[in-house]
Amino acid sequence: MRQLLTAAFKDTVDQIKADMAMMPLTRWNESVFRFIFSRAVTKRDPEITQFFECNRIDLVLHRKSERAFVEFKFYIHSPRCDLLSGAERGMKGGPGNKNFGEFKKCVRALKRRPNAHGVLKLVALFYSDPATRAKYDAYYGDSSVVERQLRIRRLVSITPFPLDDSGSICNARLYEVGP
């Protein structure tokens, strides 16, 4: 199942790239990311059974005796807007220790799940960094220590690509979580 899910992840990012022109990334969230991935999985193998939000796991997949537990992390710099005027009032969240702590918590939760034969544990990560401001890349990029610190293995790393002409860059990674 690892090979199929790796290919589905690449398909997901290709679909995100195609859809970004019509639907700005600031309107997206983890649920949209999960939906696009789930659709990519179904296109590759319609026989895989999918369970959403199953026992606090974003997506659980069953194929014969194989299982996959997938958590999704979708980090962007979203503006906070006034309810009535729509005017921007700063930014929501952003990269930092709290955000990275949530990522670590997600990995630890997957590590606590059963390590039975045929169970694959994955974290699908998508993040976008503007040309200015703090960067998620400092926490999850190639020069970060996330893989060594959390003992996760990168299965896929998509070549960074531009969000738009603003200088913002998007990144996507698929990690396997070991015991």
How far is residue 120's CA from residue 114's CA, in Å, rounded to a whole number?
Answer: 10
Q: What is the reported pLDDT for 165?
A: 67
For the chain, the three-class secondary structure string (H helix, E strand, C coil) is CHHHHHHHHHHHHHHHHHHHCCCCHHHCCHHHHHHHHHHHHHHHCCCCEEEEEECCEEEEEEECCEEEEEEEEEECCEEEECCCCCCEEEEECCCCHHHHHHHHHHHHHHHHCCCCCCEEEEEEEEEEECCCCCCCHHHHCCCCCHHHHHCEEEEEECCCEECCCCCCEEEEEEEEECC
User: What's the pLDDT at 133?
Assistant: 65
What is the radius of gyration, based on Cα positions, of the chain? 16
Q: Indicate the domain borders of the chain.
A: 2-177
pLDDT at 50 > cutoff 70: yes
Task: State pLDDT tens for residues 56-79.
Answer: 999 999 999 999 999 999 988 766
